[in-house]
Amino acid sequence: MEKILSDKKAIFLFVFPAFLVFLVIVLLPIFFSFYYSLLKWDGFSKGVFIGLQNYKNLFINNTDGFIISVKNSFILAVLSVFIQLPISLLLALILSRGIKGEKFYRTVYFIPVILSTVVIGQLWMKIYNPNYGLLNFILTKIGLQSLTNQWLGNTKTALGAVFVPILWQYIGYHMLLMYASAKSIPTDIYEAAKIDGATESQIAFRITIPLMKPILKVCVIFAVIGSFKAFDLIYVLTNGGPLHASEVPSTLMYNMIFFRYQYGYGSAMAIFIILESLIGTIIIQKLFGKDEAY
């Protein structure tokens, strides 16, 4: 076995197929997109090379609200990290302490992750509907009629209304990751802590959470990158509207390529999203410091 692993050719042979797939499916399209982003191209006729003009249009003389859409995706990232993840963590900590009905709750919290995004989108569209929606109905019934709103149709509330289901959907996902990590911490550590007289909250903050650091890092990266790339629920719920109030970079990109036929400019947006995600990952890695194995 050792002989095979030290054989360079064997390593090459095992790595090559995966590398080839990665190259063709992931890397090449990125390079193609980068090339397209240097063109003025409608996807149909011949593209004209215009250098970095598309990137200039993105940031300097921007007219389509790209910068606002980037800001929106940052808001979503912040909300994910500071609202979604703490909720997931709390649930994971409670469940991992072995409460009654642990499996039941675990399944319930995970259900939104399994549902198709389009189904969730349709569900929340019904909840938000101004005429017969659940939300307005409840508000009216408890005497808060003044708070009823056209949630998805109002430029002031649309962004918030779209973010709620996105945050809600992935709480279960992060919870499961954290739960698995918390469960894998050896029980003798807890026993020792209990003997020393540690309280539950002390155990959580001094033992469990520090030992979960590697998985927390993964969760933060997923949450931030997921926010930068967010598309499906927003597309279903508002399609970036009304009047671009809930636009994020990927909905804008979709619109640019498939409705405005600006493949070059849309590709520049795609490249921006890739770079943004890459840089985001690196920064988070740095913030968390090195992995410490326990």
Interacting residues with other proteins (CB under 8 A): 9-10, 13, 42-45, 128-131, 150-155, 158, 238-239, 241-244, 255, 259-262
Q: Which residue has the tokens 């997931």?
A: 88
Q: Which residue has the tokens 């590697």?
A: 214
Among residues 4 and 180, whose Cβ is nearest to other proteins? 4
User: Taking Cα atoms as reference points, which of 87, 136, 123 lies closest to residue 233?
Assistant: 123
Q: Within a 10 A sphere around the Cβ of 128, how many other Cβ atoms?
A: 24
The number of C-alpha atoms within 13 Å of 119 and in the hemisphere containing its C-beta is 7
Q: How far apart are CA 73 and CA 66, in angstroms?
A: 11
Among residues 87 and 164, whose Cβ is nearest to other proteins? 164
Asked whether the beta carbons of 148 and 204 are under 8 A apart, the reply is no
Smallest separation (angstroms) from other proteins to the CB of 121: 11
Smallest separation (angstroms) from other proteins to the CB of 260: 4
Enumerate the β-bridge partners of residue 40: 48
Smallest separation (angstroms) from other proteins to the CB of 122: 10
Among residues 116 and 155, whose Cβ is nearest to other proteins? 155
Asked whether the beta carbons of 33 and 271 are under 8 A apart, the reply is yes
Among residues 169 and 255, whose Cβ is nearest to other proteins? 255
Smallest separation (angstroms) from other proteins to the CB of 168: 19
Smallest separation (angstroms) from other proteins to the CB of 130: 3
CA Rg value for the chain: 24
Among residues 131 and 201, whose Cβ is nearest to other proteins? 131
